[in-house]
Amino acid sequence: MNDRLMDAQIREGASRGDRYREGASRADRGREGAGRGDRPLLEVHDLRVRFPTPAGAVRAVDGVSFDLWPGQALGIVGESGSGKSVTARTLMNLLPRTARVDGDVLYEGRDVRALAAAGAKHFWGVEMTMVFQDPMTSLNPVKKVGEQIAEALRYHLGQSRGEALAEAADLLGQVGIPEPARRVGQYPHELSGGLRQRVVIAMALACRPRLLIADEPTTAVDVTVQKHLLDLLDRLRAEREMAMILITHDLGVAKGRTDDVAVMYAGRIVELADTVSLFADMRHPYTEALLRSIPRIDDPSGHRLDPIGGRPPDLIDPPRRCSFADRCRYAQRDCLEAVPEFAGLEGLHRFSCNHPAGTERGRAALAANQAAGRNAAGLSMTETREEIR
């Protein structure tokens, strides 16, 4: 983007940004003293996303609902293709025009989809922002990293080029990049993978958003850098009192970094609970299977891993029953007849299962399937962790 075009957009952005922030400030003043119990920051109700293809519509997200409170960290976990990233991109208004979206997404009571239809440019990036998986695809390879951070500050907040570059250097320092004044003049290829991801985090936090969506933010880095980046997100979230949605396939990451966890499978949330309850008392067989498939340090050398058998369902023609039944050790005939109700036994711990793990009903179903050698959908029961041991 050349400087002349940028300057024109800065003038427009400053005016619109001021009007937007004035409205947000009034809302903030109205919420003073209300506390967390007043209203969620983000409300998602029955979100459905379909992508048309020659073979039919892919139901990438199929009835997702959750609330996110100010300052809360929500983990969304699941294997590839479960709908995690599509859910995040829907919230960020980053879907292709061909996507068909139904349901309600409310941010402080405001209809996010209506904001998108009205062409609101100073909502995403100011109130809600996102960190993507691969920093090399998020950063412009022919533009210095300082200019890329400054662009958001100039466009959304109307800062001058000098002010924005100074702020960019300060942001790089906040995210732990050494010699930030020098780094603003470097290109992405001159930085390591970990530093590039820190630059992307700095870009996302530039306008001090109240909600950060982190989509697999540590996928492209090693374990040591992963810990540093997650610690950084924790610290910044606490300092800025910022809500966060952390999307990951790693249950271990979700366990140590979130307040609540939503487990997604085949476009749906199949279990939702506070993090402590989920890991202490997981109910959905898919959640249990995800945890069982992770190698454990106390396993003996040469121990066979416990993968999840079968494959996810076809989302063009999803089954009108439990979508996990074909891969579930607990599945009975009633699981093949209808989609289980999304309910819970107590508190906010909810799940969609007729024979929950850790219950008498679940133990009876598992014992019956092990005795028969297969579940009601025909899955072989010979490769469970207990039998291998």
pLDDT tens profile 65-74: 999 999 999 9
Asked, for residue 277, whether it belongs to a domain, the answer is no
Number of CB atoms found within 10 A of residue 269's CB: 27
Q: Are residues 192 and 300 in the same domain?
A: no
Give the model's confidence band at 29: pLDDT under 50 very low, under 70 low, under 90 confident, else very high: very low
pLDDT in tens, 81-123: 999 999 999 999 999 999 999 999 999 999 998 887 777 778 8
Q: What is the DSSP letter of 315?
A: S
pLDDT score recorded for residue 272: 96
| 181-202 residue pLDDT tens | 999 999 999 998 889 989 999 9
Q: Find the domain containing 318 and state its range.
A: 283-388
Q: Are residues 53 and 160 in the same domain?
A: yes
Domain closes at, from 264, 291, 324? 264
Angle at 121 between CA 118 and CA 125, to 5 degrees: 135
Predicted confidence at residue 315, as pLDDT, reads: 95
- Do 189 and 334 fall within a single domain? no
Count of the separate structural domains present in the chain: 2
Which of residues 221 and 178 earns the better pLDDT score?
A: 178
Q: Are 259 and 357 part of one and the same domain? A: no
Same domain, 292 and 260: no
* Burial status of residue 168 (CB atoms within 10 A of its CB: 0-12, 13-18, 19 or more): buried
Same domain? 368 vs 309: yes
pLDDT at residue 220, as a whole number: 66
Q: How confident is the model at residue 226 (pLDDT cuts 50, 70, 90)?
A: confident
In a domain, 273, yes or no: no
Range 253-257 contact pairs with CB under 8 angstroms and sequence separation of 24 or more: 253/75, 253/218, 253/226, 254/75, 254/77, 255/279, 256/230, 257/73, 257/75, 257/230, 257/233
pLDDT for the residue numbered 225: 81
pLDDT on residue 180? 94
Task: Check whether residue 315 and residue 247 sit in a common domain.
Answer: no
What is the rounded average pLDDT of the residues 342-357?
85
- Residue 276 domain flag: no
Query: For residue range 274-328, what is the model confidence (pLDDT) as tens digits?
Result: 999 999 999 999 999 998 888 878 878 877 878 888 889 999 999 899 999 999 9
* Contacts of 293 by beta carbon, 8 Å cutoff, 6+ apart: 305, 306, 307, 308
Put the strands of the sheet holding 211-215 in their side by side order. 128-131, 211-215, 243-248, 73-77, 260-265, 268-274, 349-352, 342-346
Residues 233 and 257: beta-carbon distance below 8 Å = yes
Whether the Cβ atoms of residue 200 and residue 132 lie closer than 8 Å to each other: yes
Residue 95 lies in a domain: yes
Instruction: Provide the token pair at 253.
Output: 């990451």
Q: Within a domain: residue 278?
A: no
More confident residue, 23 or 102: 102
Cα–Cα distance for residue pair 276/282, rounded to 1 Å: 10
**Residues 209 and 346 both lie in one domain:** no
Clarify whether residues 252 and 354 are in a common domain: no
Q: What is the pLDDT of residue 301?
A: 81
What CATH number is attached to the domain comprising 57? 3.40.50.300
Boundary residue ending a domain (233, 264, 295): 264
Residue 83 in any domain: the answer is: yes
349 and 239 in a single domain? The answer is no
Q: Is the pLDDT of residue 24 over 70?
A: no
**Which band of pLDDT confidence, cut at 50, 70 and 90, is reported for residue 2?**
very low
Q: What is the Cβ-side half-sphere exposure of residue 178, based on CA atoms within 13 angstroms?
A: 3
For residue 335, being part of any structural domain is answered with yes
The torsion region of residue 78 among left (phi > 0), alpha (psi -120 to 50) and beta comes to left
pLDDT at 380: 87
pLDDT at 344 over 90: no
Output the six-digit token pair for 270. Answer: 């199949």
Range name among 28-37, 39-48, 212-221, 357-366 with the lowest pLDDT average: 28-37
pLDDT digits (tens, 9 = 90+) for 106-165: 999 999 988 877 777 788 888 999 998 877 788 999 999 999 999 999 999 899 999 999
Q: What pLDDT is stored for residue 251 in this prediction? A: 86
Domain-located, residue 274: no
Are residues 314 and 193 located together in one domain of the fold? no
37-41, 255-259, 369-373, 385-389: least confident range: 385-389
Which runs of consecutive H residues, i.e. helices, occur in the chain? 3-31, 84-91, 112-117, 135-138, 145-157, 161-174, 180-183, 193-205, 223-240, 251-257, 275-280, 285-292, 360-372, 385-388
Query: Looking at 200, 234, 264, which one is the last position of a domain?
Result: 264
Does 165 share its domain with 220?
Answer: yes
Contact between 180 and 195 (Cβ < 8 Å) = no
**Maximal CA-CA distance, the chain:** 74
In the predicted structure, residue 14 carries a pLDDT above the cut 70: no
